[in-house]
Amino acid sequence: MYPDKKCDKNPVEIKNLSDLKQLIKPGVELMATIHKKHPEIVGLVRVVTDVQTNAFYSVIKDQPNHKYSNCNYGKGFRTDFEKASYYRFNGTTVQMLDARAKDGSVLCEFEVYAPEQRIDQSQNSKYKLRPATEKEAGLFYALPPEQDEALGCIGHVRIDFGKNGKEFWHTWHPRGPEELNSAKFKKELTSVVDELRKTVLKSRTDMSNFCYNNGGQISGGWAQNHGFVIETDSYQYYLRCNPVQGDYNGYLTCFDKQVQGMNQANAQDQGMAMGGMQL
């Protein structure tokens, strides 16, 4: 027997290893019903934090200080992907056989839960986020000063959800002329951040779910990062999400569209590219 489920989602029917690998993504929840080596993990809902070709990592939901949330440098409990012959798929239950023992015994049994529905922003948000394209990936990371200037970069907000995943620590880092950091910009930036704190910036778990449901995978970083873009009349906001405990969880980089447009026009007149970046 194991504790009552703490997950109110429905387990997904999984037919084979290919189905399982397609389903296991950051933000997805699962729960072990049997575990031969780690019986204390049975009945605890886990949230996937990182997926690699040969394994995935998960933390205990809403328990950031749990030993299985803090292991592997904060990535969480590691589960290896084994060969297809070491799995049994029984409807919504997945059994993994003990590959080391090689005696046909069950190492663990678990269920994977249906992810939350994709967030509909059309009615609920003042600012519309769109997933980034891979060509935009460079705009979510630190740029050389000359590219910051050419792109009208004002600065970025660095965000951390803290140890429990529900705090909101943030620091402003200027990256452009002080005159761009105007009262108009500060007012809009505050409004944008306040709105994002209702969804993607609500907590580390909410960020994981948002990334899983809305895509935006970008290259760069030691873990999979996701990028989202907000565009207003005067500014562009590039939000990089990294919902991993032990690292900074977000960077919101801000660009002045008027400055950017003027620099683009000047660059075109001179037959130059804007630093090779996709805008």
Other beta carbons less than 10 A from residue 144's beta carbon: 9
Give the pTM. 0.59
59 beta partners: 47
Q: Mind listing the pLDDT tens digit of every residue in the chain (279 residues)?
A: 333 444 557 799 999 999 999 889 888 899 999 999 999 999 999 999 888 889 999 999 989 889 999 999 888 999 999 999 999 999 999 999 999 999 999 999 999 997 654 444 444 578 989 999 888 999 999 999 999 999 999 999 999 999 889 999 999 999 999 999 999 999 999 999 999 999 999 999 889 888 878 889 898 878 889 999 999 999 999 999 999 888 999 999 999 999 988 877 765 555 544 444 445
Which string of b and e fits 184-202 if b means at least 16 CB within 10 Å? ebeebbeebbebbeebbbb
Q: Is the Cβ–Cβ distance between 152 and 257 less than 8 Å?
A: yes
